[in-house]
Amino acid sequence: MVETAVVLLSGGMDSATALALTIKEGHRVISLTFDYGQRHRKEIDAAERIAKHFRVPDRRTMTIDLSAIGGSALTDARIRVPEQRRLEEIGRGIPVTYVPARNTIFLAYALGLAEATAAKAIVIAANQVDYSGYPDCRPEYYAAFREVARLGTKRGAEGDVIEIHTPLIRMSKADIVRRGEELGVPWELTWSCYLGGATACGVCDSCQLRLRGFREAGVSDPSPYASRRRRAANA
């Protein structure tokens, strides 16, 4: 029997790889994307393109306005997105791009969707190696949420626990690029930049981590960048 998995699809390189991996493993996929009041729609549009590329039969976008909560540079235009931070600084401490309780909110919705659709698992492309330092990307957080799934749902109480999969949690960005290459991930359809310009900025934390991953994997990133000179200076 083909099992169903709910895959959180943000439109970035990590979630695209997690989606491709889940499909490769033979699961039927429900892709779940959130329009959460972020600065731009680029990643939402990217998620739709990626889902169509992989012919995901059930594509869902949920609107949750986290900008009403505030407290993050990703949802409040008054808070400046950090640029040109040194790579060794990224991941130290929790940056202003952290969105309060975002993954908890996303996973709670995904858990309800998985229970309602009889999905076996939730797949999220969290990563703790090359990341921005968000506390809800750590393995211990997902261990705790597995207990939430076990204790807080009808299926969990009946012994049919919804699994929480984090297949990229201990992979570097270079490892993710290499795995994505094997899986045929269309990198040109993905969007990683925190900003919503015509092209990726090349200097925010997310762009820098992406660029390093491609560089270390020896793979050319097909995405155009707006700030080649500044990027080269900060490489």
pLDDT in tens, 95-108: 999 999 999 999 99
Let me know how long the chain is.
Answer: 235
pLDDT for 233 beyond 80: no
Q: What does the pLDDT read at residue 211? A: 95
Residue 37's contacts (CB-CB under 8 Å, 6 or more residues apart) are 64, 65, 66, 67, 68, 75
Q: What does the pLDDT read at residue 232? A: 40
In whole numbers, what is the pLDDT of the chain averaged over residues?
A: 92
What number is the average pLDDT over the span 49-58? 98
The more confident residue out of 227 and 93 is: 93
Q: What does the pLDDT read at residue 234? A: 38
**How far is it, in rounded angstroms, from Cα 37 to Cα 57?**
26
pTM score above 0.85 = yes
The more confident residue out of 92 and 154 is: 154
All structural domains of the chain: 4-234 (3.40.50.620)
**How far is it, in rounded angstroms, from Cα 49 to Cα 38?**
18
Nearest CA to 10 among 39, 30, 35, 29?
35
**How far is it, in rounded angstroms, from Cα 159 to Cα 208?**
43
Q: In 10 A of CB 159, how many CB atoms?
A: 7
Q: What does the pLDDT read at residue 43? A: 95
What number is the average pLDDT over the span 67-95? 85
List residues bridging with 121 in a β-sheet: 5, 163
Task: Name the residue with tokens 């986290």.
Answer: 66
The strand ranges marked E within 79-223 are 121-123, 163-165
Most confident of 70-84, 151-165, 193-207: 151-165
Nearest CA to 191 among 235, 233, 224?
224
What number is the average pLDDT over the span 58-67? 96
How sure is the predictor about 230, in pLDDT bands with cuts at 50, 70 and 90? very low
Q: What does the pLDDT read at residue 91? A: 64
